[in-house]
Structure 1
Amino acid sequence: MQQLFKELIKNEVKPFFAGHGYSKKNLFFYKAEGTQFYSFQLQKLAGNTRNQIMFYVNCCIYSIGLEPFQARPTKTAPPGENPHFTVRIAEIVPAAPDRYSLTSDTDADKFTAELLQHLEEALMFMHTMTGAREIVDYYMDRTALHLSEETFRFLLHAGDRETADQYLLKLRAKYGSEPRWTIWEKKYAAIWSESEE
C-alpha cells in the first residue's frame, strides 16, 4: 500500500498541484498569491499498516492581512506552519470523506478520480478567500472561537464595531454557559480597551 500511495502522490497529486502553480515539500503543497499563502497537507495517520494507508487532507491559508491583529507575534517559521484558516477537506467539500483509505480492495482509478475531484473543489473554495476579510467572515458565520481575537481586532481596526458587537453576542449565546467563557470574555474586554486607546 505504501508503494501505491507514493505512486498516487508522484503521478497524480503532485502534477495536479503543479498545474495550479503549487510547489511541493514532502506531503505539503503550497502557493503564495497576493497576501495569502495557500497550502494543502496530506497527513498520514499514525495507525497505518502494511495493508492500509489512511490520510487526511488539511486545507490551510495564512493571511498577511491578519498578522497585525495577532495576539502573539508571528514566528519566523514559514507561514504555512501557522495558518489562520485551517480545515479538513470534508469541511469545505461535502462529498469528501473525513479521511481517505487505501487498501488492496481499493479501485485505484476510481479512488484517484474522486480524490482529484475533491482537491479541485477544495482549491476552488480556498481561492475564493483572497484576503483577511473572507477568513474572518468564514469563522464569524460559524460562530467559532478560532481566530476570534484576531477577528475582533480586525473589525475594530476597520471601524466595524456593529459587526464586532453582533459577533460577541453570538459567541456569548453559544459559549456563555461554559466555564471557559469568563476567560474569553476577559480577552475580548482587553481587545475593546486596546481599540479605545
Structure 2
Amino acid sequence: MQQFFNDLMKQDVKHFLSKHGFSKKSLNFYKRSGSLVYMFNFQKSHGNAADHFMFYVNCGIYAAELARIQSREVLAEPKEAECHFRARIEQIAKSVPDRFSITPDTNRDDLRMTLLSGLEAVIHFYDTMTEARSIVDYYTSSSSLHLSEESFHLLLQSDDTAAAKRYLTALQDKYGTEKRWAIFESKYKAIFDQYEVEFNPL
C-alpha cells in the first residue's frame, strides 16, 4: 500500500501538477504567482498499516501581503499551517472523499481518477484567488473570524472603509452576544483608530 502511494506521488500526481506549474518538495507541491504561493500538501494518516494506507490532501494559499501585515518573514515555501487560506480538498472539490484509503481491494485506477479530478477542481478554484484581497473576501463573505485582524488592516489600508464596516457589522451580528466579543471589539477598534477611521458598524 505504501509503495502504491509512493508511485502515485512520483508518477501520477507529480506529472499532473507539474503540467500546471507546481514543483515538488517532499510531500508538498508549490506554485508561485505574483505575491501568492499556491500549495498542496499530502498528509499521511498516523494509523497506517501494511494492508491499509490512508492520506489526506490539504490545500493552501500564502499571501506575502498578509504576511507583512502580520509582521512575519515572507516565505518562499510555506508549510500548509503557515498559509493564509487553508482547506481540505473535499471542502473545494465536493465529489472527493475527506480521506483517501488504499487497501488490497482498492480500485487503483478509480482512486487515481478521483484524486486527479479533485486536484483539477482545486486548481480551477486557485485561478479565482489572484491576490491577498481574494483571500480576505473569501473569509469576510462568510463572517469568519479567521484572519479578521489582517482583513481589517488590508481593507483600511486600501481605503475600502465601506467593506471594513460591513465586515464589522457582520461580525458583531454573529458574535456580538458572546463574552469573547469584547476582546475582539477592542482589537478591531485599535485597528480602526490606527487608520483614523470611525469605529462604528454600518
Fold shared by both chains (TM-score > 0.5): yes
Q: How far apart are 1:76 and its partner, in Å?
A: 6.1
Relative to the length of structure 1, the TM-score reads: 0.93
> Cα gap change, 1:176/1:51 in structure 2, threshold over 3 Å: closer, same or farther?
farther
Q: How far apart are 1:11 and its partner, in Å?
A: 1.4
For 1:52 and 1:148, the matched residues in 2 are separated by: 40
Q: State percent identity of aligned pairs.
A: 46
What SS is found at the alignment partner of 2:174? helix
Query: What does residue range 29-40 of structure 1 map to in structure 2 within 5 Å?
Result: 29-40=29-40
Query: What does residue range 160-179 of structure 1 map to in structure 2 within 5 Å?
Result: 160-179=160-179
For 1:102 and 1:14, the matched residues in 2 are separated by: 19
Which consecutive segments of 4 or more residues in structure 1 shift more than 3 A? 75-79
Instruction: Tell me which of the two structures has the higher relative contact order, counting C-alpha pairs closer than 8 angstroms and 6 or more residues apart.
Output: 1
Q: Give the stretch that moved more between structures: 136-145 or 170-179.
A: 170-179
Q: Give the stretch that moved more between structures: 108-117 or 49-58.
A: 49-58
Query: What does residue range 9-20 of structure 1 map to in structure 2 within 5 Å?
Result: 9-20=9-20
What SS is found at the alignment partner of 1:130? coil
Asked if structure 1 preserves the Cα contact closer than 8 Å seen for 2:23 and 2:31, the reply is yes
Query: What does residue range 36-185 of structure 1 map to in structure 2 within 5 Å?
Result: 36-70=36-70, 73-75=71-73, 77-81=75-79, 82-185=82-185
Question: What is the letter of the counterpart of residue 150 of structure 1?
Answer: E
Q: Which 5+ residue runs of structure 2 have no aligned equivalent?
A: 198-202
Question: What is the letter of the counterpart of residue 85 of structure 1?
Answer: F
Q: Which 5+ residue runs of structure 1 have no aligned equivalent?
A: none
Question: What is the letter of the counterpart of residue 57 of structure 2?
Answer: V
Cα RMSD for the two superposed structures: 1.6
Question: What is the letter of the counterpart of residue 72 of structure 2?
Answer: T
For 2:175 and 2:99, the matched residues in 1 are separated by: 29
Relative to the length of structure 2, the TM-score reads: 0.91
